[in-house]
Chains A and B, each alone.
Chain A
Amino acid sequence: MYLAKPTIGKVIKKQFIYKLKANLEVYATLVGVQLFALLLSFNAVAGSGGGNNFINIRTNYYSVDLVIIFTMFWAFITAIILTTKTSRNEDFNFVTTRMISNLSNGCFLLTASIVGGVTAMLTTFMQKIILFFIGGDIFLLPENVTSYMLEVFMGSGVAILHVLLLSMLGYFIGTLVQLNKIFAVVLPIVFFGLLFTGGQNGPPLVLTQIFQFFFSETSLVLFVLKAILSAALLLNLSIYLSNRLEVRL
């Protein structure tokens, strides 16, 4: 007989808040990763030039693509670390089940993806300001500043989904490795194998097809659906697999 019966929602919330506080240092890593990527982003991603008898025009193009890619890697590693034995055992400080533990991890990764995605896109403003003051060149925008800022905010939403996808993939891979350590060897082999099979004369690379499935999708609605469903599928698979992990005594 219990005086208070905790609901699943309350336990997930409690664990989620605990994980937010306990893993706060992952955001320090995020800052480091993003600043490093931002530094690399000061190399122009493309350039064009033209001239005539009296004028020579040089245009350099800049973006924070690298910051977003690095943030995706950060989320991937963070998710893998969440599945390690040390992190899993921390959950047993609470009354919990595998499913609750996984769902609270999912909430934590969603929060991390939101923070990562938004901050990654916001670095674009920092980059342009630094370029303006250090580079001293004339700044060209395709449209006006309002539409540019609106685009960045919309891009933040998409970046969140990209980061979430990679974090859920990392979580799934981490769970697989915890299930059997052999996956720590098999998965990299499969990855590099897929990277080099197919191609010029054969069928398209499997990784290219997966890449195109998400990154070549031109419909925003379809992309959102694909990303959310894939992330949910990966989390569900992780929950299913983690139920097969050994019981902690």
Chain B
Amino acid sequence: MTTMIGAIIPLLLTLFIIYAFVEMRRKNNSKGTFWRGTRLKVLLGTYATTLLISMLFFPFLPYTSYGEISENEQLHNESQRFFDALYDGRLEERREEVIVRERYQFDYQDDILYLETTNYTEFYDTVFVEQSESQETIEVIYYVELGKYRQLINTEDIPTLRADLFGNRLHLEQPDLLTINFFEYKKEFPLAQFSGEDWWDDRGYRYLGQSAIYIKVPEELQVISRMADGHLQFVR
């Protein structure tokens, strides 16, 4: 708070001096000001009406309560729970949290599969490979967990994974980044003073979710990574 006040003091003092100078001159000017009589009343009436209409209109503004995002959640354990479920093969059981954003299936006869990224671009998601006896095809699944923001985001807006099979090479393309902007109310200092909220207080940690690429392959298939970046993990 003090830092903020310190930063704006020069601006405020400059404005203060200009304003004081203008006001003093105006007061000494017998002709008065532009804003007088009917013109003044119209200005004040318009301003008061605008403030009143804004106040009455405000409750109808679509908003999301921060409380809906954070309450009753063990935020720090969410990420761990996602990966525990993934390793246990129970990810699709978490239907309320986890979305299957994309699913590809390829028939495959070869003994070796090379994983590549399109144009050798960077790859951030971890690729999990499950070798299963019952699996006869290659199945690529893109899992997304939205965390605290799931009720704010339309599933269709989440960029999807692209996977293509060229011979014995499986091309994976890093999904685009979904950018969402929020604007949030910060308590004004006459309120923050009594609520204990400080100037730099954040609303707390928010779990943004997780994503993973899960590839199911036949048990005998040898999977080799040729990705320039990214992690490959085998799940039993």
- Selected A-B contacts with CB under 8 Å, 17 pairs: A25-B33, A46-B199, A54-B159, A54-B209, A77-B20, A77-B23, A119-B47, A124-B188, A125-B51, A131-B183, A135-B183, A141-B64, A148-B185, A155-B188, A155-B190, A159-B188, A216-B193
Contact partner of B188 (CB less than 8 A), chosen from A64, A80, A119, A144, is: A64
Interfacial residues of chain A within 107-166, with CB under 8 A of chain B in the complex: 119, 121-126, 128-129, 131-132, 135, 137-146, 148-149, 151-152, 154-155, 158-159, 162
The smallest beta-carbon distance between A206 and chain B, in angstroms, is: 14
**Inter-chain contact B189/A140, CB cutoff 8 Å:** no
Contact partner of B191 (CB less than 8 A), chosen from A55, A139, A151, is: A151
Interfacial residues of chain B within 178-197, with CB under 8 A of chain A in the complex: 178-191, 193-194, 196
Interface bits B135-157 vs A (CB < 8 Å: 1, else 0): 00000000010100100110000
**Inter-chain contact B193/A215, CB cutoff 8 Å:** yes
**Inter-chain contact A126/B54, CB cutoff 8 Å:** yes
User: With contacts A54-B158, A218-B196 known, is A140 near B58, CB below 8 A?
Assistant: no
The interface residues of chain A, by DSSP majority, are classed as: helix
The residue of chain B having its C-beta at the shortest distance from the C-beta of A133 within the complex is B61
How distant is the Cα of A231 from the Cα of B21 in the complex, in angstroms?
25
The smallest beta-carbon distance between A245 and chain B, in angstroms, is: 18
How distant is the Cα of A86 from the Cα of B5 in the complex, in angstroms?
34
The residue of chain A having its C-beta at the shortest distance from the C-beta of B178 within the complex is A55
**Inter-chain contact A60/B27, CB cutoff 8 Å:** no
**Inter-chain contact A218/B193, CB cutoff 8 Å:** yes
Known pairs A52-B211, A77-B20, A142-B184; list 13 more (Cβ under 8 Å).
Answer: A29-B19, A46-B186, A53-B124, A55-B208, A57-B182, A60-B182, A69-B8, A70-B15, A77-B23, A128-B61, A135-B181, A149-B58, A154-B191
The smallest beta-carbon distance between B161 and chain A, in angstroms, is: 9
Cβ contacts under 8 Å, B52 to chain A: 122
Q: Chain A interface (Cβ within 8 Å of chain B)?
A: 24-25, 27-29, 31, 33, 44-46, 48, 50-66, 68-70, 73-74, 76-77, 80-81, 84, 86-87, 119, 121-126, 128-129, 131-132, 135, 137-146, 148-149, 151-152, 154-155, 158-159, 162, 208, 211, 215-220, 223
The smallest beta-carbon distance between B54 and chain A, in angstroms, is: 4
Interface residue tally on B, bucketed by range: 35 or more
**Inter-chain contact A55/B209, CB cutoff 8 Å:** yes
Judged by a CB distance under 8 angstroms, whether B210 is at the interface is: yes
Judged by a CB distance under 8 angstroms, whether B166 is at the interface is: no
The smallest beta-carbon distance between A105 and chain B, in angstroms, is: 15
The smallest beta-carbon distance between B17 and chain A, in angstroms, is: 10
Cβ contacts under 8 Å, B1 to chain A: 215
Cβ contacts under 8 Å, B125 to chain A: 53-54
**Inter-chain contact A55/B40, CB cutoff 8 Å:** no
The residue of chain A having its C-beta at the shortest distance from the C-beta of B101 within the complex is A54
The residue of chain B having its C-beta at the shortest distance from the C-beta of A45 within the complex is B186
The smallest beta-carbon distance between A153 and chain B, in angstroms, is: 10
Judged by a CB distance under 8 angstroms, whether B44 is at the interface is: yes
**Inter-chain contact B124/A63, CB cutoff 8 Å:** no
**Inter-chain contact B23/A81, CB cutoff 8 Å:** yes
Q: Chain B interface (Cβ within 8 Å of chain A)?
A: 1-2, 4-5, 8, 12, 15-16, 19-20, 23-24, 27-28, 32-33, 35-36, 40, 43-44, 47-48, 50-52, 54-55, 57-59, 61-67, 69, 124-125, 144, 146, 149, 152-153, 158-159, 175, 177-191, 193-194, 196, 199-200, 202-203, 206, 208-211
**Inter-chain contact A31/B181, CB cutoff 8 Å:** no
The residue of chain A having its C-beta at the shortest distance from the C-beta of B69 within the complex is A140
The smallest beta-carbon distance between A242 and chain B, in angstroms, is: 18
**Inter-chain contact A139/B178, CB cutoff 8 Å:** no
Closest 4 CB pairs of A and B: A28-B35, A158-B190, A61-B186, A125-B54
Cβ contacts under 8 Å, A121 to chain B: 188, 190
How distant is the Cα of A217 from the Cα of B124 in the complex, in angstroms?
49
**Inter-chain contact A69/B23, CB cutoff 8 Å:** no
Cβ contacts under 8 Å, A138 to chain B: 64, 152, 180-183
**Inter-chain contact A142/B67, CB cutoff 8 Å:** yes
The smallest beta-carbon distance between B230 and chain A, in angstroms, is: 10
